[in-house]
Homo-oligomer: A and B are copies of this chain.
Amino acid sequence: MKRIYDKTLLERYIRQFGIDALFESDMRPYMSLFSYDRGECICNNGDVMEYFYFNVKGKLKIYTLMENGKSLLLRFNKPLSILGEVEFLSGYRVKCNVDSLNEALLIGIRMEDIHKYAGNDPTFLKYVIQCLGYKLYTISNTTSINLLFPLEKRFASYMISIASDETTLQRQNEIKTSNMIEMATLLGTSYRHLNRVMRELADQGIISKKNGNISILDYTRLKEMAGGLLYE
């Protein structure tokens, strides 16, 4: 973790995501910009959260780590999203682990400052509620899906959801898989099993794997296989 003393960059991100509009007063004086390297840990189970963060660049991995060493990915976190909103009012210690997956930039505000200057700011509080509501909803959804459907269906629906990119509004038929292991944990399964299921789909001519990319060959059958499931 490095602090970046670049007011211009900070300002650019505030503008880009409209972060100033989330507060009724100007919080800029209390904001710092931090950068994290690929794979760097942002916080761990048991930590006391010193900052409230806005993730403005990079993908974060949020996961639990159990006593027996098993871990489960809870979600990925992409800009714009927040970190520390649970701890902000409760004062609890952190319960999850958060790692940066690539180079990430976070805007941090000290917990004392956010308490002092935004602790009674309805605009900000409502934003936090929305974020929390969204997180609660998605995790409930994922939980059910993970437990109730076999990987084949989950994989199919996952593929469809990332293939239809909301930004371009057009379907990508080629998906670059940054990392199979990451994908496996996201789907709540083992790498081995994901591999097995993917090969079955490949054998059936529904997808194909080529130099690390997955191509959708038969979108119709893939959609059929997902059977209405939606990962959000």
Interface set of A (CB-CB < 8 Å, partner B): 64, 66-68, 70, 72, 74, 85-90, 92, 95-96, 119-122, 125-126, 128-130, 132-137, 139-148, 188, 227-228
Contact = CB atoms under 8 A, between A and B. Distances in A.
Main secondary structure of the interface of A (DSSP, over half): helix
A85 B129 contact: yes
Given A144-B72, A146-B147, A86 B125 contact: no
A146 to B, nearest CB: 6
A126 B124 CA distance: 10
A21 B133 CA distance: 23
Contact of A129 (B70, B72, B95, B125): B125
Closest 9 CB pairs of A and B: A125-B125, A86-B133, A132-B132, A120-B122, A72-B144, A143-B143, A64-B144, A147-B188, A70-B148
Given A64-B144, A85-B129, A130-B89, A137 B70 contact: no
A64 B145 CA distance: 10
A143 B86 CA distance: 17
A89 B147 contact: no
A134 B64 contact: no
A155 to B, nearest CB: 14
A137 B141 CA distance: 15
B67 A148 contact: no
Contacts of A70: 148
A64 B129 contact: no
Given A74-B144, A129-B129, A142-B143, 4 more contacts: A85-B129, A92-B137, A121-B122, A125-B129
B141 A143 contact: no
B95 A141 contact: yes
A214 to B, nearest CB: 23
A140 B64 contact: yes
B132 A129 contact: yes
Nearest to A118: B122
Contact of A133 (B66, B90, B137): B90
A145 B122 CA distance: 35
Given A66-B148, A126-B89, A148-B66, A143 B132 contact: no
